Amino acid sequence: MPSRSLPEPQKRDAEATRKRILDAAVEAFSTVGYPATGIRDVAALAGTSTTLLLRYFGSKAGLFEAALRHCIPSERIETVTNDDFAQRVTRWISTEAIATKLTMMIVLASGESEIAELAARVYAQTNIAPLAAFFGGADGTERATEVALLSTGYIFLMRHMSLESCDDAQREAITGWYQRTLEEIVKRPASATMAEAK
């Protein structure tokens, strides 16, 4: 009698194929943008067929949404504390290429209103809402948005554009400023809004 564990390799193959497609989609969407990326392009990059890609994701928009979610760090916000938040976020944003790719996917999709709305919704669900819950209080969403604004600017200028005018010491100083600013946002009393903090 066949073992019930026999289908497992097929499941692993399906998971590997799905990951390969998502990695290819992230690469394409973050490099040439949503409008210029075709389903065939992603399938070719992933070494699979458009039929299989569409079976997994349904449409180009479905693939884009899955690719955005694929970029979210696997490390849960619940494992972060107020004391190590700034350090861990700075480390992730400064060292992980996926942080730059997530930002560029959103930036390069902003010209298509439907996709820009989808990206905003996914970003709010996967980044703003968990951060707001982490901060708590009436200003949790405001603080989460501050972190998002600060991080997007840092990623775009320091990681994507790689400001040529900055030497290593200046980059280190800017990264230190970024981390300190995150610490200020985290340590600010929950009742204080951004305007009151000034």
Give per-residue pLDDT as tens, 87-115: 999 998 888 888 889 988 998 898 889 99
Contact 188, 82 (CB under 8 A): no
The CA-based dihedral angle spanning residues 180, 184, 185, 189, taken in that order and rounded to the nearest 10 degrees: 160
What sign results for the dihedral spanned by CA atoms 110, 68, 124, 195? negative
Measured CA to CA, the distance from residue 172 to residue 4 in angstroms comes to 54
Contact 138, 196 (CB under 8 A): no
If pLDDT is split at 50, 70 and 90, which confidence band does 86 have?
very high
Tokens of 38: 């075709």
What sign results for the dihedral spanned by CA atoms 135, 136, 137, 142? positive
Give the best-scoring range by mean pLDDT among 55-69, 72-86, 158-172.
55-69
Measured CA to CA, the distance from residue 165 to residue 117 in angstroms comes to 34
Q: What is the pLDDT of residue 27?
A: 95
If pLDDT is split at 50, 70 and 90, which confidence band does 193 have?
low
Question: Could you read off the pLDDT of 2-46 as tens digits, one per residue?
Answer: 444 544 545 558 889 999 999 999 999 999 999 999 999 999 999
Tokens of 105: 């996917």
Tokens of 23: 């990695």
If pLDDT is split at 50, 70 and 90, which confidence band does 73 have?
confident
Measured CA to CA, the distance from residue 161 to residue 171 in angstroms comes to 13
Q: Which domains does the chain have, with CATH numbers?
A: 8-70 (1.10.10.60), 73-198 (no CATH)
Measured CA to CA, the distance from residue 20 to residue 14 in angstroms comes to 10
Q: What is the pLDDT of residue 2?
A: 47
What would you measure as the largest C-alpha separation in the chain, in angstroms?
Answer: 73
